[in-house]
Amino acid sequence: MSNHVEARPLQTGGPVRVLKSVWGATGSAMGVVYTIVFAPCAAITARLGFHKMTSSISRLWARLIILTCGIKVEVEGLENLRGLNSYVLVANHQSFFDIFAVLAYLPGDTRFVAKKELRKIPVVGYAMVQNGHVIVDRQGGGRSIRHALEAARTNNYPICIFAEGHRHNDGRVHDFEEGAAWLAIMSKLPCIPMAISGSGAFFPREAKVPVPGGTMRMTLLPPIPTENLKSSDRKELTRKLEESVRSAFLPEL
């Protein structure tokens, strides 16, 4: 099963490069506008406990950014989510558009495991905390771990972890950290490996504006059960997750 979200591609050439630059800058500016409009709404609804409404606001925000920037998003393997409500989504990470695409085009009210620095973003950080995203403070030790585990065990939604630890846009999948495997094993939730391809090409890590008209693909692989695994199996599970993602990653997309 696949889901295609398309934008009309631009022709190549000198004038078009100028148009793309203007389009990219406009897309970035509109992204800021969308955030100014939607972030307070998300913060208020999350604070009042209307979490599904907050997720719907986040989905609309992310989709508007993608469409405004003319990005084509391809989603493959949705059949691997059939029958699953709560699971650990384990992916590589190339670009901020990875987050937008997960929010906009995957089913369910996905929450992210995110670094504590995101809490400092005005309004957005507050909305994330209030809506149940797992903010990890590596200096916080056990409290962050307990928070992540409690969220995984008690909430009926997917939790997305970018297993490389931070973004890479060099066209490769990097070594996975063991946190995603540990969380899945301890919560007994299935893991869904997901390969993200292409997003680093149109919005790499150091870029200020995206190159519009780009294409990215999210490929969902078959679930890996964890019911019979124990903490000591996390290294092997991490290896399986990494191999699955590597097998579906498209460096030339």
102-128 tens-digit pLDDT: 999 999 999 999 888 888 888 999 999
- Closest residue by Cα to residue 32 from 233, 209, 251: 209
**Least confident among 24-38, 104-118, 137-151, 222-236:** 137-151
Residues 88, 128: contact at Cβ < 8 Å?
Answer: no
Domain count, the chain: 1
In a domain, 6, yes or no: no
pLDDT, one tens digit per residue, over 214-250 is: 999 999 999 999 999 999 999 999 999 999 999 999 9
In a domain, 41, yes or no: yes
In a domain, 2, yes or no: no
Q: Quote the mean pLDDT of the chain.
A: 89
How far apart CA 37 and CA 48 sit, in angstroms, is 18
In a domain, 80, yes or no: yes
In a domain, 3, yes or no: no
**Least confident among 48-62, 144-158, 216-230:** 144-158
Range of the domain at 242: 12-248
Letter string b/e over residues 52-90, b meaning 16 or more CB atoms within 10 A of that residue's CB: ebbbebbbbbbbbbbebbbbbbbbbbeebbeeeebbbbb
Query: Hey, is 123 helix, strand or coil?
Result: coil
In a domain, 50, yes or no: yes
Write the CATH number for 203. Answer: 3.40.1130.10
In a domain, 7, yes or no: no
Q: Tell me, what's the pLDDT at 10? A: 43
In a domain, 117, yes or no: yes
Q: Tell me, what's the pLDDT at 2? A: 45
DSSP state for residue 224 in the 8-state scheme:
B
Residue 166 has pLDDT above 90, yes or no: no
